[in-house]
Amino acid sequence: MKWEDVDSQNCSMARGLAIFGDRWTLLIIRECFRRVRRFSDFQKSLGITKHRLSNRLTRLVDEGILTKVPYDDSAKRFEYRLTDKGLELYPILMSVALWGDKWLSDEDGAPVIYRHKSCGEITQPKFVCDCCGDDIHARDIDAIAGPGVTKKLASNIKA
Partner DNA sequence: TTGAAAAGTTCCATTTTAGAACCTATATTG
Partner DNA sequence: CAATATAGGTTCTAAAATGGAACTTTTCAA
Residues between 51 and 90 that touch a copy of itself (CB under 8 A): 82, 85, 87-90
Report if residue 122 touches a copy of itself, rule: CB under 8 A: yes
- Do the strands 122-123 and 66-72 form a parallel or antiparallel pair, or are they unpaired? unpaired
Give the residue with the Cβ less far from DNA, 23 or 158: 23
Give the span between the Cα atoms of 112 and 104, in whole angstroms. Answer: 13
Judged by CB under 8 A, which of 39, 46, 54, 67 binds a copy of itself? 46
Report if residue 151 touches a copy of itself, rule: CB under 8 A: yes
Per DSSP, the three-state class of 39 is helix
Picked from a copy of itself, DNA, none, the partner binding residue 111 (CB below 5 to 8 A depending on kind) is a copy of itself
Count the Cβ atoms, other than its own, within 10 Å of residue 100: 13
- Alpha carbon 22 to chain centroid, angstroms: 11
Judged by CB under 8 A, which of 72, 74, 131, 159 binds a copy of itself? 131
